[in-house]
Chains A and B, each alone.
Chain A
C-alpha cells in the first residue's frame, strides 16, 4: 500500500488483502457499493496528492473527478498484475501531469532542470544552513518560499519529488506509478532535490 505517510491508515495495512480483492472484483463488474467503497478509501489522499501537485483547489477538484470517472471506465480492463493503488495513482498522476502540461502550454513558467548534473555538484560550494531554519514552526514567509520553489518544478520533476519525498513511496513504486525506470526516478529526484535545496539556500541567505 502507499508509502509511509499512510502506513497507519486502517484502510491500508490493516485491511485484509482478501477483502480488497473482493471489492475490486465486484467493482470491475460494476457493483456500485464496491465503487463507492474504493472512492471512500482513496478520495481524501488523492485530493491531497492533487493539491500538492497542482497547488490549486479548482484543478485538484477537477482532477479528482476525472480520476474516478477514468477509474470506473478502465476498471474492467484492470488485470491485477499491478497493485490496485499503483494502478489508481498512475491514472491520477497522469491526469495531474496533463493539467500541468496544459498550464505550461498557456504560458506557465518552469525551471530547466535537465542542465543540473548531480555528478558536478561540488559539495564544498554549499554553505551550511542554520541548524533550525524554522523547522518547528514553519512561518508564513517560509511557506511562501517553499511554495514558490516547488511551483518552478516542471511536472516530471515535481511528480517524482512529491511521490518519493512527500508521499514517501519507494523508488520502485514511484517508477511504477510514473511508468519510468527506477534509474530515471533517481536522476529526476536528485535534480529536483538539488534545485529546491539551492533555491531555498538562496532565499535563506537573504
Chain B
C-alpha cells in the first residue's frame, strides 16, 4: 500500500475505501491515521463506511448447506455418498 504523503481529503477517502479492512495500526497506515485524527469530516466518512461493512459482516452468517442438496449433487455426478 502506498503511503499517502500529503494526505488530502481526496487521497484519504480513496485510501480508506481501497484499504479498509487492513490493519490500521500497520506502519503503512500511519499517515492515514494521523489525518483521520485531525480531520472530523474524514473521520465520520471512515466511521460510517466501517460500520456499514461491520454490520454486513455480522449479519451475513454462514448458511448451512442442506444434506439433501449435497446428496443430489453426488447423485448427479454419479459419486458415492461416502468417500
Q: Which residues of A contact B (CB under 8 A)?
A: 32-33, 35-37, 39-40, 43-45, 47-48, 51-52, 60-61, 64-65, 68-69, 72, 118-119, 121, 123-124, 126-129, 133-135, 138, 142-143, 146-147, 150, 161-162, 164-166, 168, 171, 186, 189-190, 193-194, 196-197, 200-201
Contact = CB atoms under 8 A, between A and B. Distances in A.
B52 A197 contact: yes
B37 to A, nearest CB: 15
Contact of B73 (A64, A118, A119, A123): A64
B74 to A, nearest CB: 7
B63 A48 contact: yes
A189 B20 CA distance: 11
B55 A126 contact: no
22 contacts: A32-B80, A33-B83, A35-B77, A36-B79, A36-B80, A39-B74, A40-B83, A43-B70, A64-B65, A64-B73, A69-B76, A121-B45, A123-B45, A129-B47, A129-B48, A135-B51, A135-B54, A147-B59, A162-B60, A171-B18, A193-B17, A200-B55
A69 B76 CA distance: 8
Given A146-B55, A197-B49, 8 more contacts: A44-B64, A52-B60, A64-B69, A123-B41, A138-B55, A189-B18, A193-B49, A196-B56
Given A135-B51, A138-B58, A51 B63 contact: yes
Given A64-B69, A129-B47, A142 B55 contact: yes
A126 B48 contact: yes
B13 A121 contact: yes
Interface of chain B, helix or strand or loop or mixed? helix
Contacts of B73: 39, 43, 64-65, 68
Nearest to B52: A197
Contacts of A45: 62
Nearest to A200: B52
B56 A165 contact: yes
B24 interface: no
Interface in B2-50: 9-10, 13-14, 17-18, 21, 41-42, 44-45, 47-49
Nearest to B55: A146
A142 B48 CA distance: 15
Greatest chain A CB density within 10 A among B18, B63, B80 is at B63
